[in-house]
């Protein structure tokens, strides 16, 4: 079941790399997941443009910045929406004395936010970046916390700018005809702590500037201080409190199992697949419940139905994992323990849920998607064309709602997904309505997967029920690896640079909501203010994985 | 409690239904819904039948081992429906025969 790595050589990538100017490429390398090239910092745009067009590497999945012993480094993790197994890491080293490279934002729009984060946390600067300023930390922060010279004891002064009167801010480019409106950071429609600075011309949105970082809690640094074997796994649950924790745990499990060359037993893969899909249903039900309220206060019945149905799933997952939210059930090499006894009762509990789900989902459609008010709020609002979605690195139901047929469970298979009968859901409406439909239909597919897993587990011979591989007590892998799974919000990736010690030298998280949210301005500008909330809600962002 | 929730969804768990496989009469809440078209997710304009749990588990949860090979061997999608079904039935009958022989 484990994927064979590294990826097979790709002719188109090889040809495109060979066609790059000799003086642009400094070296070739290999990461655990993909080949890598090291390029000059002043040729980034040229190289990435060539790779994007000639090798069809149209998805900049993640950008990792880090400080090494003798240099700073930016790694662009490139892949393709049409074939996720085609990957290339583009490494851009910059000297310690002058950490400046060219920005990739003109080639991949998604790099704009990633490079802002790299500047904010590590201190690398990017020439020709359209808006290089801090993104997670306050503007007044002194130093870059992930650089080695950072003084952790230095006192910091953080002003509360949100209290500033809008008229005192220099945001009016239209000579007094516009109005600045702060939405959040504590507005209920932001589902967490998100601040949108919205410039309005009457009811029309001229500009949206998402201000994130309010719940930045140094998750990457905390993971870098944890040992691989047990101390990191509890953290991924905390990047998503909407129920998708098990999917997040899988992201870490996948990358460390590749790095440490751990083979997961087939039985454990089936259990993982089943509970991960229950976790996805939990997350999508939360979205459905909350989005009903986002769109109209009249939909409180849907909100309560959503919570009622979530409770059934939470009971199942509590019986399995012992927890209702912060599951911590995955282990490196498998899962923590076997299914609860008596097994027949557990299967009956799961089947009772999947038995009822079709009629319940039909009810959600009656109340929401077939409702005229709901349609008026969501059809043709929050328009996200597929080309824009790709440019911003959108994934998950947000991308699939724009007709992009991209799902890591199928396109870069892991777990037991490739053995089961299910479909990737796409909707081509490119609007908020399509994103809702995509999630509701995805729950159907998740239930199909769960039912098939139950059938398999019921018949699994008792003597072959191995829940964990034999993993050494202390793991000290070496190498660099970027791996991703299909989280509830999209592509959840983790890059680890392992240096042979028992903790990661660099642990970088690619939260799908981070990229999906970065597309909000492109979706909302030109729309009316009332549609902005419906558009934001339709992205189903969770700030835990945005701010980390 | 389940009756209240079921009723809110237009369902009544206490209503009696009949298992279409064995004919037993049972509470809806104890039965499994069955769609003769094989798609319980598309519900518009449909009425559903029911199976008791033992019949559902016997008839609707077949092992998937060998399914892919059977479909390929029967040339699914390449031959017409009748020929496809005949080939699948023949193959399943052959498999059943060989299993019985091995057991004996």
CA distance A360 to chain B (A): 7
A93 or B62: which leads in pLDDT:
A93
- B61·A421 Cβ contact <8 A: no
- Under 8 Å between Cβ of A510 and A62: yes
Q: What is the C-alpha to C-alpha distance for residues B88 and A225, in angstroms, rounded to an integer?
A: 57
Q: What is the C-alpha to C-alpha distance for residues B31 and A387, in angstroms, rounded to an integer?
A: 47
Helices A44-54 and A11-19: angle between axes, nearest 10 degrees: 140
Measured between beta carbons, the chain B residues lying within 8 angstroms of A456 are 64
The pLDDT value recorded for residue A26 is 81
Pairing of strands A100-102, A125-127: parallel
SS3 content of chain B, % helix, strand, coil (to 5): 45, 15, 40
Please give the structure tokens belonging to residue A23: 């003086």
- Under 8 Å between Cβ of A488 and A163: no
Cβ-proximal residues to A207 (8 Å cutoff; 6+ apart), any chain:
A171, A198, A199, A521, A525
* pTM, two decimal places: 0.89
The pLDDT value recorded for residue B1 is 36
Nearest CA in chain B to A441: B41
Which residue in A355, A359, A360 is closest to B32 by CB distance? A355
Report the percentage of chain A scoring pLDDT > 70: 95
Nearest to A120 by CA among A129, A111, A133, A110: A133
- B11·A358 Cβ contact <8 A: no
* Distance in Å from the first CA to the final CA of chain B: 51
Q: Give chain A's radius of gyration (CA, Å).
A: 23
CA distance B104 to chain A (A): 23
State yes or no: pLDDT of B44 exceeds 90.
no
pLDDT category, A88, cuts 50, 70, 90?
very high
The pLDDT value recorded for residue B10 is 53
Q: What is the C-alpha to C-alpha distance for residues A546 and A544, in angstroms, rounded to an integer?
A: 6
Q: Is A112 helix (H, G, I), strand (E, B) or coil?
A: helix
Nearest CA in chain A to B1: A308
For residue A468, report the phi and psi dihedrals to the nearest 5 degrees.
Answer: -145, 145
pLDDT category, B101, cuts 50, 70, 90?
low
CA distance A423 to chain B (A): 13
Measured between beta carbons, the chain A residues lying within 8 angstroms of B29 are none
For residue A348, report the phi and psi dihedrals to the nearest 5 degrees.
Answer: -60, -40
**Helix (H) / strand (E) containing A125:** strand A125-127
Q: Model ipTM? A: 0.78
Measured between beta carbons, the chain A residues lying within 8 angstroms of B5 are 308
Best B2, B17, B40 residue to mutate vs chain A (most A CBs within 10 Å):
B40
State yes or no: pLDDT of B4 exceeds 50.
no
The pLDDT value recorded for residue B2 is 40
Nearest to A212 by CA among A239, A240, A190, A193: A193
Which residue in B11, B61, B63 is closest to A359 by CB distance? B11
Q: What is the C-alpha to C-alpha distance for residues B83 and B85, in angstroms, rounded to an integer?
A: 6
CA distance A363 to chain B (A): 7
Measured between beta carbons, the chain A residues lying within 8 angstroms of B9 are 359-360, 363
Task: Label residue A476 exposed, middle or buried (CB < 10 Å: 0-12, 13-18, 19+).
Answer: middle
- B64·A361 Cβ contact <8 A: no
CA distance A219 to chain B (A): 40
State yes or no: pLDDT of B69 exceeds 90.
no
What integer is the mean pLDDT of A253-270? 95
Q: Is B79 helix (H, G, I), strand (E, B) or coil?
A: coil
- B32·A362 Cβ contact <8 A: no
State yes or no: pLDDT of A17 exceeds 90.
no
Measured between beta carbons, the chain A residues lying within 8 angstroms of B4 are none
Q: What is the C-alpha to C-alpha distance for residues A278 and A448, in angstroms, rounded to an integer?
A: 11
Which pLDDT tens digit goes with each residue over A427-482? Answer: 999 999 999 999 999 999 999 999 999 999 998 999 999 999 999 999 999 999 99
- A360·B33 Cβ contact <8 A: no
Cβ-proximal residues to B82 (8 Å cutoff; 6+ apart), any chain:
none
- A358·B41 Cβ contact <8 A: yes
CA distance A75 to chain B (A): 41
- Under 8 Å between Cβ of A61 and A77: yes
Q: What is the C-alpha to C-alpha distance for residues A78 and A16, in angstroms, rounded to an integer?
A: 13
Nearest to A124 by CA among A90, A88, A75: A75
Q: Is A285 helix (H, G, I), strand (E, B) or coil?
A: helix
Which pLDDT tens digit goes with each residue over A325-344? Answer: 899 999 999 999 999 999 99
Measured between beta carbons, the chain B residues lying within 8 angstroms of A452 are 64
- B64·A455 Cβ contact <8 A: yes
Give CA angle at A312 (A308, A317), nearest 5°: 135
């Amino acid at each position: 079941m484990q994927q064979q790595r590294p990826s097979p050589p790709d002719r188109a990538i090889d040809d495109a790399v060979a066609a790059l100017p000799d003086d642009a490429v400094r070296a070739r390398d290999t990461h655990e997941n993909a080949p890598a090239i090291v390029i000059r910092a002043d040729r980034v745009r040229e190289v990435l443009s060539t790779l994007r067009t000639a090798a069809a590497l149209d998805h900049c999945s993640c950008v990792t910045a880090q400080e090494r012993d003798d240099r700073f480094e930016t790694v662009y993790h490139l892949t393709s929406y049409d074939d996720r197994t085609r990957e290339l890491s583009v490494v851009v080293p910059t000297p310690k004395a002058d950490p400046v490279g060219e920005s990739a934002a003109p080639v991949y729009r998604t790099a704009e936010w990633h490079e802002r984060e790299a500047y904010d946390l590590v201190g690398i600067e990017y020439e020709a970046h359209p808006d290089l300023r801090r993104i997670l930390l306050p503007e007044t922060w002194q130093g870059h916390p992930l650089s080695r010279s950072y003084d952790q004891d230095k006192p910091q002064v953080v002003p509360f700018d949100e209290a500033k009167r809008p008229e005192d801010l220099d945001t009016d480019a239209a000579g007094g005809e516009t109005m600045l409106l702060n939405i959040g950071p504590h507005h209920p429609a932001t589902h967490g702590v998100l601040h949108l600075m919205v410039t309005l011309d009457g009811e029309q949105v001229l500009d949206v500037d998402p201000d994130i970082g309010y719940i930045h809690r140094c998750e990457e640094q905390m993971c870098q201080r944890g040992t691989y074997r047990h101390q990191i796994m509890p953290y991924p649950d905390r990047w998503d409190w909407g129920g998708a924790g098990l999917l997040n745990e899988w992201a870490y499990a996948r990358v460390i199992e590749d790095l440490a060359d751990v083979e997961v037993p087939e039985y454990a893969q089936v259990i993982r697949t089943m509970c991960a899909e229950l976790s996805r249903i939990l997350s999508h039900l939360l979205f459905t419940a909350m989005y009903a309220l986002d769109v109209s206060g009249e939909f409180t019945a849907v909100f309560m139905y959503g919570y009622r149905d979530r409770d059934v799933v939470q009971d199942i997952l509590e019986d399995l994992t012992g927890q209702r939210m912060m599951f911590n059930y995955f282990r490196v090499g498998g899962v923590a323990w076997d299914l609860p006894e008596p097994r027949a009762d557990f299967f009956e509990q799961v089947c009772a849920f999947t038995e009822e789900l079709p009629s319940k989902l039909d009810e959600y459609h009656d109340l929401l998607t077939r409702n005229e008010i709901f349609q008026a709020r969501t059809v043709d609002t929050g328009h996200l064309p597929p080309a824009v979605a790709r440019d911003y690195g959108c994934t998950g139901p947000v991308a699939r709602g724009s007709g992009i047929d991209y799902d890591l469970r199928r396109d870069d298979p892991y777990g037991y997904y490739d053995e089961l009968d299910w479909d990737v859901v796409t909707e081509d409406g490119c609007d908020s309505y399509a994103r809702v439909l995509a999630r509701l239909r995805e729950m159907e597919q998740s239930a199909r997967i769960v039912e098939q897993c139950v059938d398999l587990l019921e018949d699994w011979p008792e003597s072959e029920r191995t829940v964990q591989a034999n993993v050494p007590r202390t793991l000290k892998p070496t190498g660099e690896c970027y791996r991703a799974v299909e989280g509830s919000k999209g592509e959840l990736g983790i890059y680890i640079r392992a240096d042979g010690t028992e903790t990661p030298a660099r642990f970088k998280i690619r939260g799908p909501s981070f990229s999906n949210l970065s597309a909000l301005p492109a979706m909302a500008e030109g729309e009316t203010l009332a549609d902005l909330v419906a558009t934001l809600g339709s992205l189903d962002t969770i700030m835990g994985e945005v701010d980390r | 409690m389940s009756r209240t929730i079921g009723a809110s969804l237009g369902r009544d768990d206490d209503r009696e239904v009949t298992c279409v496989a064995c004919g037993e009469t049972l509470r809806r809440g104890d039965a499994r819904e069955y769609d003769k078209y094989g798609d319980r997710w598309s519900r518009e304009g449909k009425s559903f039948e029911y199976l008791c749990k033992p019949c559902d588990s016997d008839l609707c949860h077949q092992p998937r081992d060998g399914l892919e090979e059977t479909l390929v061997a029967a040339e699914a999608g390449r031959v017409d429906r009748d020929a496809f079904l005949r080939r699948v039935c023949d193959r399943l009958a052959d498999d059943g025969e060989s299993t019985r022989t091995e057991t004996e």
